[in-house]
Structure 1
Amino acid sequence: MDMQLAGKRALVTGSSAGLGQAIAEALAREGATVVVHGRDEERTRGTADRIRDGDGQAEAAIGDLSTPEGAAAVAEAALSGGTIDILVNNAGAYDQVGWMDATPEIWAETYQSNVLSGVRMIQSLVPHMRETGWGRVIQIGGGLGAQPMAAQPHYNASLAARHNLTVSLARELKGSGITSNTVAPGAILTESVRSLLWRIAPAHGWGDTWEEIERAAAESWVPNDANRFGRPEEIAAAVVFLASPLAGYISGATLRVDGGTIRYVN
Structure 2
Amino acid sequence: MQMGLSNKRALVTGSSTGLGRAIAEMLAAEGASVVVHGRDEQRTHQVVDGIRLAGGDAAGVIGDIATAEGAAEVAGAAGAVDILVNNAGYYDGLRWTQLGADDWLEIMRVNVISGVRMIEHLVPGMRRRGWGRVIQIGGGLALQPAAGHPHYSASLAARHNVTVSLARELAGTGVTANIVAPGAIRTGPTEEMARRAAAEHGWGSQWNDIEKAASTAWFPNDVGRFGRPEEVAAAVTFLASTHADYITGADLRVDGGVVRTVS
Work out whether the TM-score is over 0.5: yes
| Unaligned 5+ runs, structure 1 | none
Q: How many residues align?
A: 263
In structure 1, what is the equivalent of residue 110 of structure 2? 113
Name 2:131's counterpart in structure 1: 134
The one of 143, 149, 152 aligned to 2:149? 152
* Residue 124 (1) aligns with residue 125 (2): no
- The structural deviation recorded for 1:197 is 2.6
Letter in 2 for 1:233: E
Provide the identity percentage: 63
1:69 aligns with 2:80: no
Which residue does the alignment assign to 2:46? 46
Query: What's the offset of the Cα at 1:133?
Result: 0.3
Offset, 1:200: 4.0
Q: Residue 20 of structure 1: CA displacement?
A: 0.3
Q: 1:97 to 1:208 in 2, by over 3 A?
A: closer
1:29-65: CA deviation from partner (whole Å, max 9, x where unpaired) = 0000000001111111111111111111001111111
Stretch deviating more after TM superposition (151-160 or 199-208) = 199-208
1:195 to partner: Cα distance = 3.2
**Ranges in structure 2 where 5+ consecutive residues have no aligned partner:** none
Structure 1 residue aligned with 2:235: 238
> What are the within-5 Å matches in structure 2 for residues 8-47 of structure 1?
8-47=8-47
CA shift for structure 1 position 199? 4.3
SS at match of 2:98: coil
Report the alpha carbon displacement of residue 208 of structure 1 after superposing the two structures with TM: 3.5
Structure 1 Cα separation of the partners of residues 206 and 97 of structure 2: 37
- Paired position in structure 2 for 1:78: 78
**Superposed structure 1 runs of 4+ greater than 6 Å apart:** none
Shift of 1:101: 1.7
1:191 matches 2:195: no
One-letter amino acid matched to 2:34: V
Secondary structure at 2:51 match in 1: helix
Q: Which amino acid aligns with 2:148?
A: A
How far apart, CA to CA, are the structure 1 residues paired with 2:143 and 2:203?
A: 29
> Does 1:87 find its partner at 2:84?
yes
2:104 partner letter: W
Structure 1 position 253 matched with structure 2 position 247 = no
Residue 264 of structure 1: CA displacement?
1.6
Name the SS for the 1:100 alignment partner.
helix
Q: Structure 2 CA distance, aligned partners of 1:114 and 1:62?
A: 18
1:163 alignment partner, one of 140, 156, 160: 160
Q: C-alpha distance in 1, partners of 2:193/2:161?
A: 31
Deviations 1:133-187 (A, max 9, x none): 0000000000000011111111000000000011100010000000000000000
SS in structure 1 at match of 2:252: strand
Provide the aligned C-alpha RMSD in A: 1.0
2-structure distance, mates of 1:30, 1:234: 15
Q: Which amino acid aligns with 2:14?
A: G
Offset of 1:192 from its aligned partner?
Answer: 2.5
Q: Report the TM-score when normalising by structure 2.
A: 0.98
Instruction: Kindly provide the amino acid, as one letter, of the partner of residue 108 in structure 1.
Output: L
CA distance in 1, matches of 2:199, 2:127: 53
